[in-house]
Amino acid sequence: QQKVQQSPESLIVPEGGMASLNCTSSDRNVDYFWWYRQHSGKSPKMLMSIFSNGEKEEGRFTVHLNKASLHTSLHIRDSQPSDSALYLCAASGVRNNRIFFGDGTQLVVKP
Amino acid sequence: EAAVTQSPRNKVAVTGGKVTLSCNQTNNHNNMYWYRQDTGHGLRLIHYSYGAGSTEKGDIPDGYKASRPSQENFSLILELATPSQTSVYFCASGASGGREQYFGPGTRLTVL
């Protein structure tokens, strides 16, 4: 069964706008969440990670985590065309040697 | 920066043929992974390994075998390739404990 669910499947935002992506895990054993970004034709690269309740900000990117609901969200402010990519959410637990990926959100930032 | 390389980068195979995809990492990571990614979709785990000599089945292992002869190398083997195995394959490495994974550049496999 799918352990990590992402929404929406695709998202179009205007340049300069805010993009908000969501992710929820159905596995209560997870304790770490990851956001990977994959540009077209390239390999995924880790963008941000979070394991504590609350939020974490790095430049234009902010990640929120609610551990009680196992929900994380990624917000991109002042979106740029270069942010257009597939954003993959992943979750892992301390007992696992693997991480579980969602199917991704395809973000398009229109100039 | 972590370094994971894959070979070949592109491969065209015939149905029923044998295909071997190779992956090498210089990060000294214990864990290595093989994923496939179909157009516009997420990553599906095929096989993974905790260290030299070990292999574990992932979520979609049917039709694939894996081999981990050393800490650095991890291979994915398709003994009898089928058109349904046409995809992009990514190798990744990661430290123990299910933490950040570092991906190779991918191999585009086409089975005719």
What mean pLDDT do residues B64-76 have?
A: 98
pLDDT tens digits, one per residue of B41-56: 789 999 999 999 999 9
pLDDT at B69 over 80: yes
Q: Provide the shortest C-alpha distance from residue B109 to chain A (in Å).
A: 14
Answer for the pair A14, A68: CB distance below 8 angstroms, yes or no.
no
pLDDT, position A110: 97
Instruction: Calculate what percentage of chain B has a pLDDT beyond 70.
Output: 96
On chain A, the residues whose CB falls within 8 A of the CB of B105 are 42-43
pLDDT tens digits, one per residue of A55-104: 999 999 999 999 999 999 999 999 999 999 999 999 987 666 678 999 99
Of residues A29 and A7, more confidence is placed in: A7
Answer for the pair B105, B22: CB distance below 8 angstroms, yes or no.
no
**pLDDT confidence of A2, banded at 50, 70, 90?**
low
What mean pLDDT do residues A22-44 have?
A: 93
Cβ B40–A86 below 8 Å, yes or no?
yes
pLDDT, position B71: 96
On chain A, the residues whose CB falls within 8 A of the CB of B106 are 43
Closest alpha carbon to A99 in B108, B93, B84: B93
